[in-house]
Amino acid sequence: MSVSADILEALRLELRRGTLILAVLGTLRSEKYGYTLKAELGGLGIEIEEGALYPMLRRLETQGLLTSEWREDAKRQKRFYRLSDDGAAALTQLAGEWRAMNASLSSILKGVGS
Amino acid sequence: MNPIWDYVKKVERHLPAARRTEVAGALYATLKARKETIEKAKGAKATDAEIADMLAAEGDPLRVAERIAGPSGEHDLVSRYLASVERHLPREGVLDVMAELREALRAKTEEAEERLGRAASADEIAAVLKAFGAPPVVAARYEGRMQLIGPVLYPWFWPTQRTALGLVAAVFLVLTALRALGTDRPIQAVLARIDNLLGLGLMAFAAVTLVFIAVERWGDPVKLLENRWDPTSLPRDNIRKPRSLFESGVSVFFDVLFILVWLKFVPFPNELPLRDGASVSIVLSPAWSVVYWPILALALLSAAGHLHDMVRPAWNRLRSGISIVSYVGGLAVLGVLFQGRPFVDVQPRPGTSPEELTRAVGLVDGLLLVSLGITAAIWAIALGVEVWRQVRASRLSGGAALMAA
């Protein structure tokens, strides 16, 4: 019996949710505004809807992990985001967690789907 | 001197007049909250230098006004979409969120235009908005919390609760009053049953809540909305502010009351006292019988329009059409009545003299002449405003076609 598309999609979304924050924090080590951030993530194979990206950026800023400022770029007002000091510390810790988890999962999933 | 207030005044000067007060108030609240965050972090009052730095980081007042209010040539669909998102957002930080969404939509539209090699049509802009997400869903993501009743249904939750509780209270009070009238002490009889109202109210609240939770759980409203919502049918708050539920509810109440009086289900006191022991009965003149059915039809149309406002409070062409028909019909009815003056006749009661009858007719007819004259003037102005709103809506929609041409 095959897993229904809905269940698979829900599992995929759940798997991606945590990693998206890590990807956003990692990308914002250099300053970017929403549009270029989405484009860069997309170029690296990580798609995220704008409707989800902007609220996430705002939440991360409220948590003190990002800082932002409005600035003019190409004659337009844009909000630029970058990692704060707290964000950099959190990123270091999360990256360590990710590598450890990745190593464990690689070992668990050895031979799956290959 | 308050530097935050001075800064807000500078921004305010560059804002469109229609949004000046609302935006200035929100900006002041945002900046004040930001100052309080600084003070909370350092555990002391912010210095003048810190406030100056905070305002400098906000940017040049002209630029701030531009990013809040949007460019003057913004597409009608984008403005309506942003207004819809804004309605669902928490007030705190709303200006910042809106400015960022506006910029993101602008970038998305420009990306689509670059791909097309021409200006985007209204349909193409609608596709950009559709991909961005339904307004309540986008706004809900800023709240970032799990909800028992989700973003699609939540805007309807409290209005439905208020309506349900209002209906329960009205039906209960009417039935209790009718029963109490047959007793010796009606007021005490009503008071003795009033505590039942609390129980009924709680039951109504629980029933409505359960229905909402059930629809949320099994109806999957977010998916349903994302599939079915249409950006071109977004409300037009830029044409007229949405009517409040209270305002529409009060209007429906008076519409129903008028219809009941007009159909003679509810008696209307028509006795005019002249002096001690003498009075006259005022009755409508034969001119009114000519317009009896048109008046009833217009009253029903008015009630239908106000009921429609309760469901869809924002301006739309159908509601505007109902208003235009009502005003034109109302003015035509008034025209017939003005030609058939006097508006009223009197039926003498014993003891009244012919002079008193003439004076009574003159008095009531004069009062009606003034009040119906004022009504005619108000309806004529309202008709002009409504026609102008239709023209404005066509121009705003037409902007897309011009851009695409």
Q: For residue B59, give how far its alpha carbon lies from the nearest alpha carbon of chain A (Å).
A: 7
Residue B238 covered by a domain:
no
Contacts of B100 in chain A (CB under 8 A): 34, 54, 79
Q: What is the pLDDT of residue B403?
A: 40
Interface test with A, best of B95, B141, B146, B152 (most A CBs within 10 A): B141
Using CA atoms, how far apart are residues B17 and B388, in angstroms rounded to an integer?
19
Question: Which residues of B fall below an 8 Å CB-CB distance to A?
Answer: 57-59, 63-64, 66-67, 93, 96-97, 99-101, 103-104, 106-108, 131-133, 137-138, 141-142, 144
Q: What is the pLDDT of residue B18?
A: 66
On whether both B363 and B260 belong to a single domain, the answer is yes
Reported confidence tier of residue A101, pLDDT bands at 50, 70, 90: very high
Residue B23 covered by a domain:
yes
Average pLDDT over residues A8-18: 81
Residue B239 covered by a domain:
no
Tell me whether residues B144 and A59 touch, CB distance under 8 A. yes
Reported confidence tier of residue A1, pLDDT bands at 50, 70, 90: low
Q: For residue B69, give its domain range.
A: 3-143
Q: For residue A110, give how far its alpha carbon lies from the nearest alpha carbon of chain B (Å).
A: 36
Residue B223 covered by a domain:
yes
On whether both B30 and B134 belong to a single domain, the answer is yes
The answer to whether the CB of B67 falls within 8 A of the CB of B23 is no
Q: What is the pLDDT of residues B276-327, one digit of tens each?
A: 667 778 888 888 999 999 999 999 999 999 988 887 777 888 889 999 999 9
- Determine the angle formed by the axes of helices A50-62 and A34-43, rounding to 10 degrees: 110
Domain final residue, candidates B113, B143, B173:
B143
* Weakest-pLDDT range from A93-97, B86-90, B106-110, B393-397: B393-397
Q: What is the pLDDT of residue B400?
A: 43
Average pLDDT over residues B26-43: 83
A31-102 CATH: 1.10.10.10
Residue B127 covered by a domain:
yes
Q: What is the pLDDT of residues B206-241, one digit of tens each?
A: 999 998 888 888 877 777 777 777 888 787 766 777
Question: Which sequence spans correspond to the domains of chain A?
Answer: 31-102
Q: In sequence order, which residues have a C-beta less than 8 Å from that of residue B198 and are 6 or more positions away?
A: none
ipTM over 0.85: no
Higher pLDDT, B25 or A22: A22
Q: In sequence order, which residues have a C-beta less than 8 Å from that of residue A58 and are 6 or more positions away?
A: B93, B97, B142
Interface test with B, best of A13, A35, A70 (most B CBs within 10 A): A70
- Give me chain B's average pLDDT, please: 82
For A70, phi and psi rounded to 5 degrees? Answer: -80, 130
Q: What is the tally of structural domains in chain B?
A: 3
Q: What is the pLDDT of residues B127-175, one digit of tens each?
A: 889 888 888 888 888 876 556 777 677 777 887 888 888 888 888 887 8
Give whichever of B93-97, B236-240, B333-337 has the largest mean pLDDT. Answer: B333-337
* Weakest-pLDDT range from B12-26, B31-45, B122-136, B376-390: B12-26
Using CA atoms, how far apart are residues B117 and B80, in angstroms rounded to an integer?
25
Q: Is A21 exposed, middle or buried (0-12, 13-18, 19+ CB in 10 A)?
A: middle
Helix (H, G, I), strand (E, B) or coil at A67: strand
Contacts of A59 in chain B (CB under 8 A): 144
On whether both B393 and B253 belong to a single domain, the answer is yes
